[in-house]
Amino acid sequence: MARGKQSYFAPVQDLRMLKEHMASNGEGEPGSPARTYEEAVNCLSSLITRRTRADGANKGDHFNLMFEYLKILELEDSMSRLKVIHVAGTKGKGSTCAFTESILRNCGFHTGLFTSPHLIDVRERFRLDGMDISEEKFTAYFWWCWDILQEKINDDVPMPTYFRFLALLAFKIFVAENVDVAIVEVGLGGKFDATNVIRTPIVCGICSLGYDHMEILGNTLGEIAGEKAGIFKQGVPAYTVSQPEEAMSTLKAKASQLGISLQVASPLDRGLLDGQQLGLDGEHQYINAGLAISMSRSWLERTGHSEGIFIQNTESLPEQFIRGLTLSRLQGRAQIVPDPYFSTQSSTLGPGGLVFYLDGAHSPESMVVCARWFSNATKETARYIYHPEQPEHSSSARLVPILIFNCMSVRDPQLLLAPLMSTCSYNGVYFHKALFVPNQSTFNQVGSFTSTQSNPQQVDLSWQMTIQRVWKNTINGNKGLIDDKVTGVNEACKQGEQRNTRNFENSAIFPSLASAIQWLREYAQQKRPIGLQVLVTGSLHLVGDVLRLIKK
């Protein structure tokens, strides 16, 4: 059926051979002082370019070099044998891939999953059977790829850039581990993405499309859809979800040119889950789940594995599909994390506390989805949302929404904050305070030990000041939606602020994420029984930084 003994034991043998190869070349085994995981990550960091994404030269930048790298690594033939599901899109790629992997794993298959970005540790990008690749395996495969490329590069074929190396590493891992299915998420766009060296996928999918990465992909939905449809291959079925008309027209035209079918997957009917809940929270996840179901079904049929899984009654979902959908997990997407700091405190502190609502939304459309999720999630636990008519020291616990926000400078914060605020206010949720922070991690290093700014006083906060001004202007432009009393800073909030913040109506700028979290903890502790519901959004990097800090 799914995986056999060869699939189970070949990877172990391959890892042993990797170690022997390294030892024979005097390189030592993974874990030795000269070849540690930390050193591998430092080498990987050296591939990060300082060129901004908005640089026009990024588009299709020597894409054909990827095929040269595959030749150097002798991965061409073995790559063609990988049974790949290739997924592009603007919103929901990671969630759709996570659902798909979980479904097929619960059908009994040996799965590989490549996604981006990582939140805490680079190994999150490479998952085998639902688990991050081990440090030992990552280290062994890393040095195998690194050493061969270092030996063969020249002026015409330089070392691959950061994401291209990661994609090559993923292909090596999946080939060596002999996975039954590789679910591969596009990094950016599609046509010129590093993952698009996949020539014979089993099935392709396009998630919801919207306006993002416009500096690279184009200024219209049609142009963006054209880039995403670059992953379509002749003879390979493609699936998508309901799209805006302009985007759908382009996708259909691209499919027609290749003579392939483009089918629209319907959102999952929640009644098919037998009363259970999706493993990933949010109404939008039913759209992603529907696409994952269609791609998984197509993969099973095209690889000859559908027998014994599907029954004649096509109106119901197989048990394996339900299990995969309900057990799926993905960090940083509609994730709720109570602050461990309060769980370790004495119970004498009373109710209240601090809960983080983490969602890496970073496009206008995804901000609307994030706001809906946050509104619904907080309403489920709140007796009532903060409102100025409620007494400051109510006898029962109050739950107060607070925003932590940052976004990359290539994005327009107005296009992100406006839909977030209007959607929240439409659902009766008003932020008591907004905190604007720089990202904690640096952008020229990777790994769980990523360095941070050592002197907060030297941090450039000009971008955060720009975002704060946008926040004020957005509030002033939505007088009819946002109660002016709610946007004011009450006396209790003023007393709780630290002197290293910059106040601006109901917002503050902090020189570091750590100082913002410290302020939140102190404020929550001082104001019990108030409970703080903190939405962290605008950047997956920011979400990862929060997870890294609160889990320390």
Please give the annotated binding residues for Mg(2+), written as ranges: 116, 185, 213
Omega into 338 within 30° of 0, i.e. cis? no
Task: Say if residues 263 and 237 touch (Cβ distance below 8 Å).
Answer: yes
What is the Cα–Cα distance from 85 to 102, expressed in whole angstroms? 13
353-358, strands of its sheet edge to edge? 335-338, 353-358, 531-537, 399-405, 433-436, 507-509, 502-504
Check: CB of residue 546 under 8 Å from CB of residue 356.
Answer: yes
**In terms of Cα–Cα distance, which of 311, 312, 327, 267 is closest to 293?**
267
* Rounded (10°) CA dihedral 407, 520, 283, 123: 60
Q: How far is CA 230 from CA 86, 189, 198, 364, 533, in A?
A: 11, 8, 11, 23, 41
- Integer Cα distance of 372 and 420 in angstroms: 9
- For the chain, give the number of residues: 552
Q: 3-state DSSP: the chain helix, strand, coil percent, rounded to 5?
A: 45, 15, 40
Q: Cα 58 to the chain's mean position, in Å?
A: 22
DSSP state of 307: B
Is the distance from CB of 132 to CB of 124 less than 8 angstroms?
Answer: yes
Question: Phi and psi of 169, rounded to 5°?
Answer: -65, -40
Between CA 30 and CA 135 the distance in angstroms is: 9
Per DSSP, what are the bridge partners of residue 403? 434, 535
The C-alpha torsion from 169 through 175 and 179 to 185, rounded to 10°, is 40
Residue 428, Ramachandran bin (φ over 0: left; ψ between -120 and 50: alpha; else beta): left
| Residue 225 exposed, middle or buried by CB count within 10 Å (0-12, 13-18, 19+) | buried
- The neighbour count for residue 45, using CB atoms within 10 Å, is 17
Rounded to whole angstroms, the Cα distance separating 119 from 382 reads: 28
Q: Tell me the angle at which helices 462-476 and 413-426 cross, rounded to the nearest 10 degrees.
A: 40
Which DSSP letter does residue 74 get? T
Q: Is the Cβ–Cβ distance between 294 and 263 less than 8 Å? A: yes
Handedness of CA 357, 359, 364, 366 (dihedral sign): negative
Residues contributing to the annotated binding site for ATP: 333, 359
Q: Which residue has the tokens 């992953």?
A: 231
Please enumerate, by residue number, every residue annotated as part of a binding site: 116, 185, 213, 333, 359
What is the Cα–Cα distance from 328 to 377, expressed in whole angstroms?
19
